[in-house]
Amino acid sequence: MSSVKQEMEFAAAQIRPMHDLDMPVIVAIERAAYQFPWSEGIFRDCLRVGYVCRVVDIGGDPTGYGIMSVGAGEAHILNVCIREEFRGRGLARKILLYLLDRARASGMREAFLEVRPSNTAAAQLYHSMGFEQVGMRRGYYQATAGREDAAVLRRVLTPDVK
C-alpha cells in the first residue's frame, strides 16, 4: 500500500463508542485474530459495566477496537485488536493514543497492559509508545501447549506528554 493511501486511511479512521450492534463484527475480528478469543459475553460485560469500549471505524466499517478500565488512579488496557488486513497502518497506535488520552483526562496517573512475549509486533508498538516492562505474570495466557506468560507493561501518564 502506498504511504499516501495509508496516511489518508489513518486520517479517515474515526474512534467511536462501541455499541451492541457492533458485537457480530467485533467478535468476528477477535476470533480471526486470536486462537483463544474473548467471548461475546465478555465484550457485552465490558460495555455493561462502563469500561471505555471504542471502535476504529473507517467509512462505517469497524476495523478494530480497544477496551480499557479506569479506576484508583490507573488505567488498564484490556484488549486492542485491528483486523488483519488493516494492520501495520497505524490504527492500533491511533486507538492506543485515544485510550491514553481518555485515561489522562480521567485523572489516571498510570496505564498498564499485558502482552504475550510471542506477540513481538504488539510489544514493539507498546515500547515505542513509552510502555516499560514492570513484571511478568507466569502462565497468564491460555496457549496451545499449556500456558504462556504475560509481560506486564506500564506507562506513566503525565499531563503534557503524548
Whole-number pLDDT of residue 162: 53
Beta bridge partners of 132: 154
Architecture of domain 3-115: 3-Layer(aba) Sandwich (3.40)
Task: Calculate what percentage of the chain has a pLDDT beyond 70.
Answer: 92
User: Would you kindly state where each structural domain of the chain is located, as residue ranges?
Assistant: 3-115
The whole-number pLDDT of residue 143 equals 84
Average pLDDT over residues 84-88: 92
Quote the pLDDT of residue 37.
Answer: 96
Q: What is the pLDDT of residue 103?
A: 97
Which amino acids are annotated catalytic? 114, 126
From residue 22, alpha-carbon distances to 19, 39, 71, 109 in Å are: 5, 14, 25, 31
